[in-house]
Amino acid sequence: MLNLAPSTALPTGTLRDVSLLVVNAHEAADLLGASIGDRSPVQIARAVRQLGPHAAVVSFGERGLAAATPETEWFEPARRVDARDTTGAGDALVGVTAAALADGVDLATALRRGSAAAAVAVQRDGASASMPTRAEIDAELSRRPREPT
């Protein structure tokens, strides 16, 4: 799993060795070398995946995230919260997703957990201080998710 944050140039062919690439929309635009303005989130995730990783996830902040694997593509809406500080959101998403994958859950479930963790984290100030516990993530997952916009 590679979280290419901040965005940086990679040696040619590096992404072919990546099982799961996670980037935000700005990093996706850097990788693609073009504006992503009028493409859908799923189209952007698909384009990032076509750069070589087995699977790609692109986060779009308060909008949600999109994922593309060889088998499927989907959009996961963000959870509705009142954000105070987004500093640790990406770290929460990536860390909790990685932990869930290590526990053996499928990518879609892992990303829902990561998204819930990010939703909890943005409601607090700071980066490391905002990281949620497993119980807080479970509580967030029990709430009704945000409707797609």
Helix-, strand-, coil-residue percentages of the chain, each rounded to 5 = 45, 15, 40
Q: What gap in Å lies between CA 147 and CA 63, rounded to an integer?
A: 10
CA end-to-end span of the chain, whole Å?
A: 29
Token readout for 37 is 């303005």
The residues that are catalytic are 91
For residue 118, how many C-alpha atoms fall within 13 Å in the half-sphere facing its CB? 27
